[in-house]
Chains A and B, each alone.
Chain A
Amino acid sequence: MNRCLTVLSTGPLTTVQDAGRPGQGALGIGRSGACDRAAAALANRLVGNDPDAAVLEATLGGLALRAGADLLVATTGARCPGSPAHNAPHRLAAGAELRLGLPATGLRTYLAVRGGIAVEPVLGSRATDLLSGLGPPALSAGDVLPVGEATGPLPGVDLAPVPDPAGGEVTVRLLPGPRADWFAEDAAAVLTGTGWTVTGESNRIGLRLDGPPLERVRTGELASEGMVRGALQVPPSGLPVLFLADAPVTGGYPVIGYVDDADVDRCGQLCPGQTVRFRGAG
C-alpha cells in the first residue's frame, strides 16, 4: 500500500500549505503559508499532526482525491458538500475517493491527512508562494502526493465545534498603520464608515477592495518598506488592498492601517462580492 493521495481534480486552485517561511524577510522571502492559519492548524490537530504540518488548501471546492492506502483525513474552513469529515477526522479507505463540492460560505477548505503532505520542502516549508514562485507548483490532476508517517498521538476528538466562515458582511478590527498621515483627515472615517466590496481580482496575495477612493494628501514616492499580512495598502487608485498570506515582503505604497492579525484568517475566507467592514479599535 502506498501512503499517497492521487489528485483527480483541483477545482479553481489547490495548493500545498503549512505555516510558511517566517523569519526570512531580510532575504526578500515572504512568509506565505495557509491563508486561514487557524483552520489549517485545526485540520492538523484533528488527525493528530503537528499544527504546522503541510495540508491542502482548496479554493472554492472542486478538489477530488483518491487514497492510495487507508488514511485518516479531516477538512476544515469552508464547508464543502461531499466532505464526510468536516471539522472531524474520517477514515478514507484505500481506493476510496473524496470529492469536495462548492462551499455555501467561505472560500478556502483545508484538508489534512494523518502524517502530513510530504512533498519536498523549499527553504524550510512546503507552502506554495504564488507571488515569489517558491514551493511546489499548484496541484494538477494526476499529481500523486506522498503522505508522511504518522507521529503524534491521535486526539480523542470526534468533532471540533467551530463556526463556518460567514457569508455576507464581515466586520474585522482595524489597527493603526505606519502611514495614516499620508491621507486626508476624513480618510479614517471613510475607511471605517464604508462596506468594502471584495472584488474578483483578489487572490492569496491580497483582497482588492472596491468603495470610495481614499484621498491622499501627501504625494510623492514612498521608499519601499516592510509589511506583513493584514496591511491595508493604498495604491494611487485610492482603493485599498488587504494583504493576505502571499503578501510581498516590502511595498512602495502607503499602508493606512492593519487588520488585527487575529482577524486576518477570516479575511482569507472572503469571497468576491462579500462586504468587509473595518471597526476602529477604541
Chain B
Amino acid sequence: MTMIRMSNIHKYFGKLHVLKGVSLEVNKGEIISIIGPSGSGKSTLLRCMNQLEKIDQGIVEIEGIVVEAAGDKEGKVVATPQEVRTAYRKMGMVFQSFNLFPHMTALGNVIEAPMLVNKAAKDDALKIAEKQLAKVGLLEKKDAFPSKLSGGQKQRVAIARALAMNPDIMLFDEPTSALDPELIGEVLSVIKNLAQEHMTMLIVTHEMGFAKEISDRVIFMDDGKILEDSNPIDFFDSPRHPRIKTFLEKML
C-alpha cells in the first residue's frame, strides 16, 4: 500500500529553487533514510509532506487522498477539507529542535493533542500518554517541565507526543542533530524500537551508521533532486554516483 506519493514536487523560497521536481513513493512499513549535504532540500521535502511548507508545483497524496496540488496540477484536490485534515493526521512529526510546549509538563505535552484534536476523554488521553511515555522510557519524568529535561529526554517526549496521535507514518527531521553526542544513542534506540513495530518512517539524518542499520531504502538528495534511491547495502557499500562517494568519504 502506498502511504505517501509525491509527484514532481517543486518548491521555491523566493528565487531559490529548493526542490526541483522530486517524485517519491513511500510504501507501508518502509523505513526510509534521507541523507545528503546541507541545503540539498532534505528537510524541505519532509516539510512539504505535512504542509509545513506549501509546494509550488506537483501533487502530494497521503494514503490515496490528494491533499495538496499546485502549479498546473492546481484544482486536483477533490477531497473535502475534513478528509484532507484526517489524512494529515496520519502523520506524526519529530523536529530537530524538539519544539516541546514549554508551559506544559511532559505528560501535558503528550495528552494535549489527543484531547484537543481527537476530543479524547481525559482518562483515555492519560492512558495513551502514560503508555507512550513508558515506551520511550520516561514515565517517571511525566510531571517534569521540558526545561528540566535533557535534550535526549526532550526528544523522547516529543516522539511520545507524536505517537499519542496514533500516526501511520512518522517523519523525523534530523532528530539527533541538536543533541550532545552522548545523548544521541537513547533517541536512536527509541526510533529503532519503532522500526521493529513496522512503523512507516522517513528520517532525515546525518547518522550514517544508523541509516545503514535501520533503513529499507536510502535516498540521497543533492541540489533539490533525488540523486539515488536504493537499498542501504548497495548505497553504502558500492555507491555508484561520484557525488555520493565524496559525501560518504567526508561523513565516515
To the question of whether A and B form a pair in one complex, the answer is no
